[in-house]
């Protein structure tokens, strides 16, 4: 099974509600009919009202959706991409290797998934592409992400689900050569907007300490001024358990 991830940007202004309807009602059925075995859509839609935990800067270019498609054959990629392009989106495509660190129900921050395919997830989803600075060798970069950043943030933060997608191939011309794409699920709006909850702190001392630990770790392997993290709605269109 091959996993493909596409980041989407509307070519023209598109209201969040329209974005949701276009992707769920128009694109999703066509993707399934054109070779998608499984399909997950994270959309910055009219229900995604939680501000991003990462402030945007002039160097960031927030995307409007992340579409994950599992296929049996990479040769079906062309028709799948054509569906997204025909819906008036610019796309950046990646072939990835998924590493599921924690799934729903895997820790105290979330219960096992109990909502059906097609229904919006009750969690707040944040999607963050990871760009490797040229100064950091890839083996050291991967080691920091998997052996330092992942375990440290899992222990500190109240995440219900954590997926690390390692980019194995950039598929579309002009796409930023990201090394990874992270998907994180948070229990409630407060867990993203309340700094004490977000950093797993019980008091001001722990807050400052944990913020410092996180900042040093992130700065060691990512260009902080270019990080783009978008909060989204999560829709399992066809999941593996279906």
> For 120, what's the count of Cα atoms within 13 Å in the CB-facing half-sphere?
15
Please give the pLDDT value at position 225.
86
Q: What is the mean pLDDT of residues 142-171?
A: 97
CATH number of the domain encompassing residue 191 = 3.30.70.100
Q: What CA–CA distances, in Å, run from 97 to 91, 93, 100, 164?
A: 19, 13, 10, 8
Please give the pLDDT value at position 107.
95
Please give the pLDDT value at position 176.
95
pLDDT band with cut points at 50, 70 and 90 for residue 226: confident
Nearest CA-CA partner of 178 in 144, 211, 137, 133: 133
Tally of structural domains, the chain: 1
Dist CA 109 CA 154 (whole Å): 11
The pLDDT mean for the chain works out to 95
Domain encompassing residue 131? 2-238
Is pLDDT of 158 > 60?
A: yes
Please give the pLDDT value at position 37.
97
Please give the pLDDT value at position 61.
74
Over the stretch 9-40, which tens digit does the pLDDT of each residue have? 999 999 999 999 999 999 999 999 999 999 99
Is pLDDT of 191 > 90?
A: yes
Dist CA 108 CA 162 (whole Å): 13
Look at the block and give the residue holding tokens 């950093």: 199
Is pLDDT of 192 > 90?
A: yes
Q: Which two tokens stand for residue 242?
A: 């279906």
Q: Which long-range contacts (CB under 8 A, 24 or more apart) does 13-22 make?
A: 14/64, 14/88, 15/46, 16/44, 16/45, 16/46, 16/48, 17/45, 17/46, 19/43, 19/44, 19/45, 19/64, 19/65, 20/45, 20/46, 20/47, 20/233, 22/87, 22/88
Is pLDDT of 178 > 80?
A: yes
Over the stretch 41-69, which tens digit does the pLDDT of each residue have? 999 999 999 999 886 665 667 899 999 99
Query: What burial class does residue 49 get, using C-beta atoms within 10 Å of its C-beta: 0-12 exposed, 13-18 middle, 19+ buried?
Result: exposed
């Amino acid at each position: 099974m091959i996993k493909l991830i596409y980041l989407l940007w509307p070519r023209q202004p598109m209201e969040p509600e329209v974005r949701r309807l276009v992707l769920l009602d128009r694109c999703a059925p066509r993707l399934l009919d054109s070779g998608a075995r499984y399909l997950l859509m994270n959309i910055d839609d009219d229900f995604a009202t939680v501000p991003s935990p990462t402030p945007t800067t002039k160097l960031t270019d927030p995307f409007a959706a992340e579409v994950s498609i599992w296929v049996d054959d990479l040769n079906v990629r062309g028709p799948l991409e054509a569906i997204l392009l025909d819906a008036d989106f610019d796309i950046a495509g990646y072939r990835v290797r998924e590493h599921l660190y924690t799934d729903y129900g895997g820790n105290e921050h979330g219960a096992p998934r109990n909502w059906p395919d097609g229904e919006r997830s009750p969690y707040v989803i944040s999607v963050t592409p990871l760009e490797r600075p040229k100064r950091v060798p890839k083996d050291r970069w991967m080691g920091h992400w998997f052996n330092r950043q992942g375990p440290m943030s899992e222990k500190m933060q109240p995440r219900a689900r954590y997926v690390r997608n390692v980019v194995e191939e950039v598929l579309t011309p002009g796409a930023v050569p990201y090394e990874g794409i992270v998907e994180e699920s948070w229990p409630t709006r407060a867990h993203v907007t309340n700094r004490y909850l977000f950093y797993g702190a019980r008091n001001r001392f722990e807050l400052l300490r944990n913020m410092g630990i996180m900042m040093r770790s992130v700065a060691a392997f990512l260009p902080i001024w270019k990080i783009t993290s978008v909060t989204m709605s999560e829709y399992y269109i066809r999941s593996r358990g279906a």
